Amino acid sequence: MNSFTTLTALVAPLDRANVDTDAIIPKQFLKSIKRSGFGPNAFDEWRYLDHGEPGMDNSKRPLNPDFVLNQPRYQNAHILLTRKNFGCGSSREHAPWALEDYGFRVVIAPSFADIFFNNCYKNGLLPIVLPEKDVDQLFQEVFALEGYQLSIDLPSQTVTTPNGTTYHFEITDHRKHCLLNGLDEIGLTLQHADAIKAFEVKHRQQQPWLY
């Protein structure tokens, strides 16, 4: 997966609480187990005016002009600002796949559903938990200033606003190491490839009848 160190990017405000995974990527798009290709259908039911199905040409579908991600000022945003309990509902890993494929690298919220939160780290997406009052302040600033950007620094675990206000966020050392080095669970395992190979050779010699 892609590594993450620092990011300064446009912020898109999704001013909704309890956004579930079926809203992030509807169930009809879960037929593929590839990690790519879900971005055009992220928030499909809110983003388009018609009903989406796999295989449709999304470039020809009617967009919902009232949905925040369709507004010109938030195009090419890589940071999603949202409300509490983001990613609730079913435990589909397709949800962080869809967000990352859309272009988001960071999601900021007062709280996340546990399984979604863990799945983000496994797919190179950084979920940042900030106090609700700080999230409220960020929403006010995003709405007030077009082109609003935040700077995310993972090594220092900070979020910095255009006026220089800095917020600190928590992350475990293990998750931080994995994101900084672009390591998912497979990548972590492959770091021990030589030891695994040596064990297999020794095991075959000691118990050849198993092979």
With respect to residue 130, please indicate whether it lies within any of the assigned structural domains.
yes
CA–CA separation, 148 and 57 (whole Å): 31
pLDDT in tens, 132-142: 999 999 999 99
The number of residues making up the chain comes to: 211
Is the pLDDT confidence value at 201 over 80? no
Contact 109, 41 (CB under 8 A): no
pTM: 0.89
Query: 128 and 169 in contact (C-beta within 8 Å)?
Result: yes
What is the spatial distance between Cα 88 and Cα 47, in angstroms, rounded to a whole number?
A: 19
**Residue 1 is assigned to a structural domain of this protein:** no
How do 126-129 and 6-14 pair as beta strands? unpaired
Phi/psi region, residue 129 (left: phi>0; alpha: psi -120 to 50; beta: rest), is: beta
Check which CATH number belongs to the domain holding 111 and give it. 3.20.19.10
> Alpha-carbon distance 149 to 152, whole Å?
10
The secondary structure of residue 145, as a DSSP letter, is S
**Least confident span in 23-37, 48-62, 158-172:** 23-37
Confidence of residue 189 (pLDDT cuts 50, 70, 90): low
pLDDT band at 32 (very low <50, low <70, confident <90, very high): confident
Q: Identify the three-state secondary structure at position 126.
A: strand
CA angle 65, 15, 123 (to 5 degrees): 95
Q: Is residue 86 part of a domain?
A: yes
Asked if residue 91 is part of any domain, the answer here is yes
Q: Give the residue numbers spanning the domain of 173.
A: 6-210
190: pLDDT confidence band, cut at 50, 70 and 90?
low
Q: Is the Cβ–Cβ distance between 77 and 103 less than 8 Å?
A: yes
Tally of structural domains, the chain: 1
